Amino acid sequence: MKKVFYITTPLYYVNDIPHIGHAYTTVLSDVIARYHRAFGEEVFFLTGTDEHGEKIASSARESGSSPIKHCNKYVLKFKALWKKLNIEYDDFIRTTEERHELVVKEILKKLYEKGDIYKSTYTGWYCTPCERFWTNKDLIEGRCPSCNKTVYKIKESNYFFKMSRYQERLLKHIKENPGFIKPEFRKNEITEFLKKPLNDLCISRPKSRLSWGIPLPFDEDYTCYVWMDALTNYISAPGYIYNNKKFNEIWPADYHFIGKDILTTHCVYWPSWLMAIGIELPRTIFAHGWWMSGEGKMSKSKGNVIDPIIYIEKFGEDAFRYFLMREMSLGQDATFSHNIFVNRINSELVNDYGNLVSRTVKMIKDFSGGKIPCEHTNQKTNQLRKEVIKVPRIVKELVKEMRLNEAIEEVMSLVRRTNRFIEETAPWKLNKENKKKELEGVLYAVSEALRFVSILLHPIIPNKSTIALKNFNIDIKKRGSFNSLDWGGLTSGTEINPQEMLFPRIKTHLDGRIDFGELSRAAIRPYSVVKVSFDDFKKLDIKIAEIKEVINIKGANKLLKLKIVIGKEERQIVAGIGAYYSPRELIGKKIVVLTNLEPRIVKGELSEGMLLAATEGDKIVLLTPDKDISSGSIIS
Ligand code: ME8
């Protein structure tokens, strides 16, 4: 069985709205996921949110909200941004979800029983924003060496993970697997770090100080350290423990994409934790650089963060995605400035790609009656063909080596080459001189080059490349794979379907300033107002089901386990209707169930679907069919 290609983003803290740094890692992961899907691989792309710990608890306190209400609000802002950025993730995990907590607790229990977790007293300096302890010698001028904030001296009993036990094995693994930490200089940084003695890791917080976390299963007075909780998402989401079949198809991760700020937690804590559990290590942890703005790293505390929404609303998500991917050499820092952004977009997407699309469509309209012309070859078209057909292989190799901006450069240089080809062959002249065959050959070659380029750019600019291909009536969903990149894919004689202009020129003032107009900085809209397309709605599989059996769930009086029948199929769902319906009332009832919801574990019970009910304040009322109808009937 072929392994699923598995990539992850960090789980972002929901203490504030997302900024460009978060957008970058997520777009990068989406682009790599889309490329691998186009290579014909099955992909599992995971993102999500980190919702426990002091950082979140104090943000919630500041906003006068409970931690979970705070998380529920902020998670929507991340999801709304991912929707706006056209991110196609396969799963979104929140660390407050039951499926995740269950796995964290199981692992803690296992490691405690194995003797890898022990209790001891500890004195150290604690940094709240970084959620970690430092020793005296770590501090720089008495402050946190990572974020330069004030640290507090804390003495307390805590639980520790015997991380030192895995130090040698980890060093050996890094040495024997050169691709484990990338880029190379980050690997060297971690290797140096691991040459010094490694302390055991404090993995608990007393509940009296921090109750917002997962309780330790062997001592309820403590909660789990937020980093061990959050890192575990990479195995809890694909199903470790509760869905081992799925987990074995997906794990190990092919790439954990992270920023360089969280290198140690991912390259030291996480692999040691996995070794202790006895699970294979991820294949590659890839740390990219920082987006800088003005003086230094973009960060909330410096007040120099760029709000991605402004750019997306003003210039479209594709221009923004393109800029992020094009501007940063993976591993290095990059600077975000309005001027660099505008110049890039105007020169590469407006002048080069956008122009190639519009002039090709116009020439086919004007010189070929709006139909794809016949292919006639000559030396010039053969030369272009040769240059075009080698690009997919080069792009594939560069993407696999994570040299993404070089892959883009390769495609853009083909765009420029095709524009030059048009200048050199001058179809307008051939038309005037009535050289019909030659004209057709040139237009066919240009159209094919444009088809290649648009498919190759699709993972970066999914929306605009889809529109570009619609000009040729090509459905990217059916013909977007790299396998379809054989010369001659366009059928002569088919009518073209001219679309709107792809990228309007960004107008600047004489001094280069852009007018950002009315766009507000706080423009991230709540998820609830995001419109659902009809195609999205059609994905829901809602059916009539009949309740056969009802079982109370121990320790959760509002929850009922329902055995239901949908047509011929039997299933189990867990529903929070115990306070409103008695088992006797429910048995035999026909209800409405969303059947293709991702299965979840609720209070340790598998729930495969969700019944639909109306709520009003405290009241819950089940939806039932108006007249009798068989179970399994489809609701549309
Ligand atoms: O660290 N440039 O979450 P976080 C580039 N919850 N990328 C940036 C960036 C910048 N200026 N700022 C942030 C956490 N990022 C933990 C992770 S994982 C199990 C737990 C990106 O919300 C980059 O990917 O602080 C960085 O690693 C991540 O956001 C940190 O996000």
pLDDT in tens, 327-364: 998 889 998 888 888 899 999 999 999 999 999 999 99
Q: Is 232 in the pocket of ligand 1 (CB under 6 A)?
A: no
Peptide bond into 129 cis (omega under 30): no
Which ligand 1 atom sits closest to the C-alpha of 291?
2
CA atoms within 13 A on the CB side of 203: 34
Q: How confident is the model at residue 149 (pLDDT cuts 50, 70, 90)?
A: confident
Lowest mean pLDDT among 123-132, 180-189, 262-271, 384-393: 123-132
User: Phi and psi dihedrals of 224, rounded to 5?
Assistant: -80, 140
Q: Give me ligand 1 centre to Cα 283, in Å.
A: 20
Share of the chain above pLDDT 70, in %: 94
Task: Decide: helix, strand or coil at residue 64.
Answer: coil
Find out whether 239 and 232 touch, Cβ atoms under 8 Å.
Answer: no
Q: Give me ligand 1 centre to Cα 246, in Å.
A: 28
Which residues lie below 8 Å from residue 424, measured CB to CB, with a gap of 6+? 380
DSSP notation for 35-56: HHHHTT--EEEEEEEE--SHHH
CA 633 to chain centre: 35
Specify the DSSP class assigned to residue 371: B
pLDDT at 400 over 60: yes
What element of type H or E holds 536? helix 534-538
What does the pLDDT read at residue 528? 29
Q: What is the mean pLDDT of residues 497-525?
A: 66
Find out whether 191 and 171 touch, Cβ atoms under 8 Å.
Answer: yes
Which residues lie below 8 Å from residue 174, measured CB to CB, with a gap of 6+? 180, 181, 187, 190, 191, 194
CA atoms within 13 A on the CB side of 567: 7
What does the pLDDT read at residue 447? 98
Q: Which two tokens stand for residue 351?
A: 């002048």
Q: Is 353 in the pocket of ligand 1 (CB under 6 A)?
A: no
Angle at the Cα of 634 from the Cα atoms of 550 and 604, rounded to 5 degrees: 35
Q: Is 50 in the pocket of ligand 1 (CB under 6 A)?
A: yes
Q: Which two tokens stand for residue 198?
A: 């490694």
Find out whether 315 and 345 touch, Cβ atoms under 8 Å.
Answer: yes
What does the pLDDT read at residue 409? 97
- The mean pLDDT of the chain is 91
Q: Which letter, b or e, does each residue of 136-168 get, where b requires 16 or more Cβ atoms within 10 Å of its Cβ?
A: eeeeeeeebeeeeeebeebebebbbbbbeebbe
Q: How confident is the model at residue 2 (pLDDT cuts 50, 70, 90)?
A: confident
Which sign, positive or negative, has the C-alpha torsion 570, 93, 202, 286? Answer: positive
What does the pLDDT read at residue 527? 29
Helices 462-470, 436-457: axis angle to 10 degrees equals 150
Q: Which amino acid type is present at position 125?
A: W
Share of the chain above pLDDT 90, in %: 73
CA-to-CA separations, 274 to 112, 166, 167, 261, 450, in angstroms, rounded = 14, 10, 12, 21, 46
Q: How confident is the model at residue 515 (pLDDT cuts 50, 70, 90)?
A: low
pLDDT in tens, 291-304: 987 667 776 666 66
Cα separation of 51 and 63, whole Å?
15
Cα separation of 91 and 180, whole Å?
24
Winning range, highest mean pLDDT, from 291-295, 452-456, 481-485: 452-456
Maximum distance among all alpha carbons in the chain? 90
- Among residues 470, 479, 460, the alpha carbon closest in space to that of 34 is found at 460
- Which residue spans within 321-471 are E strands per DSSP? 334-335
pLDDT at 183 over 80: yes
**Residue 335, Cβ neighbours under 10 Å: how many?**
13
Q: Give me ligand 1 centre to Cα 38, in Å.
A: 27
- Which residue spans within 481-627 are E strands per DSSP? 542-553, 556-566, 569-575, 590-594, 600-602, 605-607, 610-611, 613-616, 619-622
Q: What is the mean pLDDT of residues 5-12?
A: 98
Q: Which two tokens stand for residue 9?
A: 């983003």
Cα separation of 528 and 77, whole Å?
10
Cα separation of 196 and 405, whole Å?
36
Q: Give me ligand 1 centre to Cα 24, in Å.
A: 10
What does the pLDDT read at residue 532? 59
* Ligand 1 atom 12 nearest Cα: 21
Cα separation of 355 and 386, whole Å?
23
Pocket test for ligand 1, best of 8, 25, 307, 323 (most atoms within 8 A of CB): 25
pLDDT at 483 over 50: yes
Pocket test for ligand 1, best of 46, 262, 323, 327 (most atoms within 8 A of CB): 262
Residues forming beta bridges with residue 606, ordered by sequence position? 601
CA-to-CA separations, 17 to 303, 357, 384, 554, 561, in angstroms, rounded = 13, 36, 47, 38, 37
Which ligand 1 atom sits closest to the C-alpha of 233?
19
pLDDT at 511 over 70: no
Starting at the earlier edge strand, list the strands of the sheet with 334-335. 296-297, 291-293, 334-335
Q: Which two tokens stand for residue 84?
A: 């706006």
Q: What is the mean pLDDT of residues 534-549?
A: 88
pLDDT at 134 over 90: no
Q: How confident is the model at residue 526 (pLDDT cuts 50, 70, 90)?
A: very low
Q: How confident is the model at residue 217 (pLDDT cuts 50, 70, 90)?
A: very high
